[in-house]
C-alpha cells in the first residue's frame, strides 16, 4: 500500500516541498513525531486504541478522579472510530474515521499525558493545535468513508474497556501499514489550511 | 454515485484529491465484494413513506412495523447501531431504532418506502437560516457557500449539497433532505432552479476544500435544490450536507 499520495503540489507554483512517505511503529517516540510534517503520508504499524465521544467522556471522568486509565497513554495513538460489527469470521467490520472535532474538549488533556497522535477526520480546535505544539503531538487524517479499505489494515481487534458502549467501546487494534496523512504537526503546520490556500479560486 | 466519483477522479487537479477519490472508488469495490458497509457510520434510518390514500393498513402499528424492519436490517446486515434513546442521557438503543419517519399521503393505491440512512458527520454540518426576502438569490448563494465552507473537511467531501428554499423553518429543512434523495446530478424540474444548482456547484468547487478537505476542486459532486411557497415575510433556506456515501433504497408495495 505504499504507493499513492504525492504530497507535492505543483499547482500555481506554490508549496513544492517533497515529503518522504514514512512507516511508523507504535509506541511513538518524541523524535519520530517531531520529524513529521503536515502533508506527509504515514503508514502506522503496531497497537492503536480506539475511542470516540462516550469513551472520551469516561476517560475524562477517570482523569478528574485521579484514577488509572484503561491503557497507558505514553507514546500511544488514539483512532477516533466506532467500527461496524464484524461478520462471522472477520476481524472487524468497516472502520473509517469519525469527525475529530467532537473530541476536541478532551484531546489536550490526553496529549498532556503523553498521547502522541490522534487519527480522525476534520479540523481540530485552536486549543488542540496548541496542545500538540506544546506536548509534541500530531494529528493524522484517515480517509473518511474509505472504511472497508481501511479495515483491511486492521489485523487484530479486541474490546479492552466499556463493552457496554457498543460501537463506542475502547478497542485495542493491531494495525499493519494503516494509511494516514499528517494534518497538524508539532510546528503548527495545518494541511487543511494549506490545501485551501493552493486550490481556492477567487 | 460511482459515475460521479469516476468523473471527479478524471477532473481533479490536486494529487492528494485524486488519490483520495481513487481510494474511495477502491473502497466501494471492496465493500461490494466483501459485503461490508462502505462507511462504518451506517446512519440514522431516515424513512420516507408515500402512502397512497386508497391503501388501508391493518393488523398492527405501521410505524412499529418500520422500526421492526430497521431492527432486523441493522442486525442481519451487520450495520452499526448508532442511535441513543435520549439526546442528553445518551444510552445506545442497541438496534438503531427508532427510525426518523416522514409520511406523506398521496393519490393512488401504492405504498412507497424510501430508506435513506444518514451519517452523523455530514448531518452535523447542516444548517437552517431565515433570510429576509430582500436578500434574494444572492442571499441564498451566500448562505449555502458559508455552510459548505464552515463544514470544510468534516462532512467527508466530496459531498452532495441538499438545499431547501421556502416554506417555513421546518419545511425548508425537510426540503433540503428530500433534495438529497434525487439521483446524483438529476436537475431540478424548474429551469431557473436548475441553473441556480449549477451556479452554486461551480462556486462551491471554487472554495478549494477538495476531497477530504486536503485541497482540490472536487468539494461537491452535486447541488440539489427543492423549493416551496413561502410567507410574504420569509425566505427560509436550509442546507443538508451528505457525504459521498449518499445511500438510498426505494421499494413500492
Is position B89 within any domain?
yes
Confidence band for A18, pLDDT divided at 50, 70 and 90: low
Residue A16 pLDDT = 45
Please tell me which residue in A37, A41, A52, A56 is annotated as part of the active site: A56
Residue B1 pLDDT = 83
In this structure, are strands A77-79 and A41-50 parallel, antiparallel, or unpaired?
parallel
> Cβ A145–B244 below 8 Å, yes or no?
yes
Domain boundary among B91, B118, B145: B118
Q: Check whether residue B129 and residue B86 sit in a common domain.
A: no
> Cβ B214–A181 below 8 Å, yes or no?
yes
Per the structure block, which three cell numbers stand in for B188?
A: 431540478
Residue A1 pLDDT > 70, yes or no?
no
Average pLDDT over residues B229-245: 95
Helix (H, G, I), strand (E, B) or coil at B228: strand
For residue A103, what are the CA distances in angstroms to A50, A119, A120, B22?
12, 11, 10, 29
CATH architecture of A20-199: Alpha-Beta Barrel (3.20)
Q: Check whether residue B114 and residue B191 sit in a common domain.
A: no
CA B230, B123, B181, B44 torsion-angle sign: negative
Confidence band for A171, pLDDT divided at 50, 70 and 90: very high
From B203, which residue of chain A is nearest by alpha-carbon distance? A201
Share of chain B above pLDDT 70, in %: 100
Residue A5 pLDDT = 44
Q: Which residue carries 490536486 as its cell?
A: B14
State the CATH number of the domain containing residue B144.
3.30.1330
Residue A190 pLDDT > 80, yes or no?
yes
Residue A6 pLDDT = 43
Distance from CA of B234 to the nearest CA of A (A): 31
Residue A37: HSE in the Cβ half-sphere, 13 Å Cα cutoff: 9
The Cα B169–Cα B185 span in angstroms is 26
Residue B243 pLDDT > 80, yes or no?
yes
Residue A15 pLDDT > 50, yes or no?
no
Q: Find the domain containing B94 and state its range.
A: 46-118
**Does A56 participate in catalysis according to the annotation?**
yes
**pLDDT by residue (tens digit) across B138-197?**
999 999 999 999 999 999 999 999 999 999 999 999 999 999 999 998 999 999 999 999
Q: Check whether residue B242 and residue B124 sit in a common domain.
A: yes
Q: Check whether residue B113 and residue B128 sit in a common domain.
A: no
CB atoms within 10 A of CB B27: 27
Q: Check whether residue B86 and residue B164 sit in a common domain.
A: no
Average pLDDT over residues B11-34: 92
Distance from CA of B54 to the nearest CA of A (A): 40
DSSP lists the bridge partners of residue B236 as: B130
Average pLDDT over all residues of chain B: 95
Residue A27 pLDDT = 97
Residue B253 pLDDT = 82
Q: Check whether residue B204 and residue B169 sit in a common domain.
A: yes
**pLDDT by residue (tens digit) across A25-35?**
999 999 999 99
Per the structure block, which three cell numbers stand in for A170?
A: 475502547
Residue A2 pLDDT = 40
- Domain boundaries along the sequence of chain A: 20-199
Size of interface A-B (CB pairs under 8 A): 177
DSSP H or E stretch at residue B75: helix B62-76
Q: Check whether residue B98 and residue B163 sit in a common domain.
A: no
Residue B28 pLDDT = 93
Q: Check whether residue B161 and residue B149 sit in a common domain.
A: yes
Is position B167 within any domain?
yes
**pLDDT by residue (tens digit) across A120-136?**
999 999 999 999 999 99
Mutation pick from B83, B215, B246 vs chain A, by most beta carbons of A within 10 Å, is B215
Average pLDDT over residues B99-122: 95
Residue A12 pLDDT = 47
Considering its fold, how many domains does chain B have in total? 2
Is the Cβ–Cβ distance between B139 and B166 less than 8 Å?
no
Of A58, A78, A81, which Cα lies nearest the Cα of A69?
A: A58
Confidence band for A17, pLDDT divided at 50, 70 and 90: low
Q: Check whether residue B125 and residue B241 sit in a common domain.
A: yes
DSSP summary character for residue B152:
T
Is position B24 within any domain?
no
**pLDDT by residue (tens digit) across B119-137?**
999 999 999 999 999 999 9
Mutation pick from A199, A201, A202 vs chain B, by most beta carbons of B within 10 Å, is A199
Q: Check whether residue B98 and residue B128 sit in a common domain.
A: no
What ipTM was estimated for this complex?
0.91
Q: Check whether residue B129 and residue B219 sit in a common domain.
A: yes
From B125, which residue of chain A is nearest by alpha-carbon distance? A99
Question: How far from the centroid of its chain's Cα atoms is residue A117's Cα?
Answer: 6
Confidence band for A202, pLDDT divided at 50, 70 and 90: confident
From A102, which residue of chain B is nearest by alpha-carbon distance? B121
Distance from CA of A3 to the nearest CA of B (A): 10
Average pLDDT over residues A64-76: 94
Q: Check whether residue B96 and residue B124 sit in a common domain.
A: no
Which 3-state string (H, E, C) describes chain A? Answer: CCCCCCCCCCHHHCCCCCCCCEEEECCCCHHHHHCCCCCCEEEEEEEEEECCHHHHHHHHHHHHCCCCCCCCCCCCEEECCCCCCCCCCCCCCCCCCCEHHHHCCCHHHHHHCCCCEEEEECCCCHHHHHHHHHHCCEEEECCCCCHHHHHCCEEEEEEEECHHHHHHCEEEEEEEEEEEEEEECCCCCEHHHHHHHHHCCC
Amino acid at each position: 500500500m505504499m504507493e499513492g499520495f504525492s504530497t507535492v503540489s505543483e499547482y500555481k507554483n506554490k508549496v513544492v516541498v517533497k515529503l518522504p512517505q514514512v512507516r511508523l511503529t507504535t509506541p511513538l517516540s518524541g523524535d519520530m513525531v517531531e520529524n513529521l510534517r503536515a502533508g506527509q503520508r504515514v503508514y502506522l504499524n503496531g497497537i492503536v486504541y480506539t475511542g470516540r465521544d462516550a469513551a472520551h467522556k469516561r476517560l475524562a471522568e477517570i482523569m478528574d478522579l485521579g484514577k488509572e486509565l484503561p491503557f497507558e497513554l505514553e507514546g500511544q495513538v488514539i483512532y477516533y472510530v466506532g467500527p461496524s460489527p464484524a461478520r462471522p469470521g472477520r476481524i472487524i467490520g468497516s472502520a473509517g474515521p469519525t469527525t475529530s472535532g467532537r473530541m476536541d474538549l478532551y484531546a489536550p488533556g490526553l496529549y498532556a499525558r503523553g498521547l502522541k497522535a490522534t487519527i480522525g477526520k476534520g479540523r481540530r480546535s485552536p486549543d488542540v493545535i496548541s496542545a500538540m505544539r506544546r506536548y509534541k503531538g500530531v494529528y493524522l487524517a484517515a480517509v473518511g468513508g474509505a472504511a472497508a479499505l481501511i479495515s483491511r489494515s486492521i489485523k487484530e481487534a479486541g474490546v479492552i474497556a466499556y463493552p457496554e458502549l457498543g460501537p463506542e467501546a475502547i478497542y485495542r487494534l493491531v494495525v499493519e501499514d494503516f494509511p494516514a496523512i499528517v494534518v497538524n504537526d508539532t510546528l503548527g503546520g495545518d494541511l487543511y489550511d494549506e490545501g485551501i490556500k493552493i486550490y481556492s479560486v477567487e | 454515485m460511482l459515475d460521479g466519483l469516476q468523473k471527479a477522479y478524471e477532473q481533479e487537479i490536486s494529487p492528494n484529491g485524486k488519490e483520495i477519490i481513487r481510494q474511495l472508488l477502491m473502497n466501494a469495490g471492496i465493500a461490494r465484494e466483501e459485503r461490508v458497509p462502505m462507511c462504518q457510520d451506517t446512519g440514522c434510518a431516515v424513512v420516507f413513506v408515500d402512502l397512497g390514500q386508497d391503501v388501508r393498513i391493518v393488523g398492527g402499528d405501521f410505524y412499529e412495523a418500520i422500526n421492526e424492519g430497521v431492527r432486523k436490517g441493522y442486525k442481519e446486515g451487520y450495520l452499526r447501531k448508532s442511535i441513543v434513546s435520549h439526546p442528553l442521557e445518551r444510552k445506545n438503543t442497541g438496534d438503531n431504532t427508532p427510525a426518523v419517519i416522514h409520511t406523506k399521503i398521496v393519490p393512488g393505491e401504492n405504498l412507497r418506502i424510501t430508506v435513506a440512512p444518514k451519517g452523523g458527520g455530514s448531518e452535523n454540518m447542516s444548517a437552517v437560516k431565515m433570510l429576509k426576502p430582500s436578500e434574494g438569490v444572492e442571499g441564498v448563494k451566500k448562505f449555502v457557500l458559508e455552510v459548505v465552507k464552515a463544514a470544510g473537511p468534516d462532512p467527508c467531501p466530496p459531498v452532495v449539497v441538499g438545499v431547501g428554499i421556502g416554506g417555513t423553518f421546518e419545511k425548508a429543512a425537510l426540503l433540503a433532505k428530500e433534495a438529497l434523495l434525487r439521483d446524483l446530478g438529476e436537475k431540478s424540474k424548474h429551469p431557473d432552479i436548475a441553473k441556480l444548482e449549477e451556479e452554486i456547484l461551480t462556486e462551491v468547487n471554487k472554495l478549494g476544500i477538495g476531497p477530504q478537505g486536503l485541497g482540490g476542486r472536487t468539494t461537491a459532486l452535486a447541488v440539489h435544490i427543492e423549493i416551496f411557497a413561502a410567507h410574504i415575510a420569509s425566505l427560509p433556506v436550509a442546507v443538508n450536507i451528505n457525504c459521498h456515501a449518499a445511500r438510498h433504497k426505494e421499494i413500492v408495495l
